Amino acid sequence: MPEFQEASSAISPAVSPEEEELQQKRRETTRLEQELAEKELELSTLNGELHLFEKRYNLVVGVKYTELDEVKAQILELASRLYPRSDEFRAGAQSARERARSSSRETEDLDSDALEKESFKPSEDLKKLFREVAKKIHPDLAADDKEKARRHELMAKLNQAYDQLDEEAIQAVLQEWEDGDHPEKNETLGTQLVRMVKKIAQVRKRLQGICDELTQIQNSGMYQLMKKIESAGEHGSDLLQEMAASVDRKVDTIKSKVRDLASEFD
């Protein structure tokens, strides 16, 4: 028996405390990388849902508010002509005209295809691809600032491609990453350990950042409106159309006042 133990020791040399700690940090990093990819997917999916909803909202309701701003500007401009000494009407007309221009710019480039999409529904295969690419390119896994900047650019492309449910664009991001330079680094055990500890800290910080971003989005007015409209839809109501109809009624009321003021001015 002692001879067997001596032979085993010869075959399996003892691992140093530094090597053991490095192996432990690598296992922890692998676990955190998986968690980070999942959280980035959750954040990107939530952003995708909200972006689609914002497009649908602007197409159905936003354009109505653009018209409302326009007729408000008209009535205030007429009022300022009727009462030229009124600074209030003049300032109100100028402010209303600026709002009308601003809202017009916000709605002029809307994609009408968004009305055909009820919700943001990435496939499971697309989600899996997103996770795989995110784990490879994530900025918080970078070894230095130069590499981190490149990874940030690729991560932005990944999120944009996922937002558009564009699998080919995601594959292109992966290909761009793999075509780049990835020089092997001949590092000492101590340097590897320091880099691994830094990477773990960066990933944990980003995980907390994602949680904060998710909370901020979920507390936003647009997200709350999206959930309210979804809830109404589950009970058979189209709240977006109801909101649009409400704005239409306001537009009609103000248009009537514009006609009355115009006739009075004439």
**Do the Cβ atoms of 203 and 140 come closer than 8 Å?**
yes
59/14: higher pLDDT: 59
pLDDT band at 67 (very low <50, low <70, confident <90, very high): confident
* Eight-class DSSP state of 62: I
pLDDT at 263: 74
- Assign 266 a pLDDT band (cuts: 50, 70, 90): low
Residue 90 pLDDT: 75
Question: 74-120, pLDDT tens digit by residue?
Answer: 888 777 777 777 777 778 778 877 887 877 776 666 665 655 666 78
Separation CA 10–CA 14 (nearest Å)? 9
Amino acid present at 19: E
Statement: residue 48 has pLDDT above 90: yes
pLDDT at residue 72 above 70? yes
Q: Where are the alpha helices (DSSP H) in 58-86?
A: 63-82
How high is the pLDDT of residue 116?
62
Q: What is the pTM of this model?
A: 0.81
Of 130, 101, 115, 169, nearest in space to 43 by CA: 130
The mean pLDDT value of the chain amounts to 86
263 C-beta neighbours (distance < 10 Å), count: 8
**% of the chain beyond a pLDDT of 90:** 52
Q: How far apart are CA 137 and CA 173, in angstroms?
A: 9
| Non-local CB neighbours of 221 within 8 Å, separated by 6+ positions | none
Summarize the confidence of residues 31-38 as an average pLDDT: 96
Q: What is the pLDDT at residue 12?
A: 52
d(CA 57, CA 53): 6
More confident residue, 9 or 211: 211
User: Which one-letter amino acid corresponds to residue 169?
Assistant: A
The Cα 174–Cα 162 span in angstroms is 13
Q: Cα 118 from chain centroid? A: 18
Over residues 120-156, the pLDDT tens digits come to: 899 999 999 999 999 999 999 888 888 899 999 999 9
Q: Are 33 and 203 in contact (CB under 8 A)?
A: yes
- Does the pLDDT value for residue 233 go beyond 80? yes
Query: What is the per-residue DSSP string for 101-152?
Result: HHHHHHHTT--GGGGG--S----HHHHHHHHHHHHHH-GGG-SSHHHHHHHH
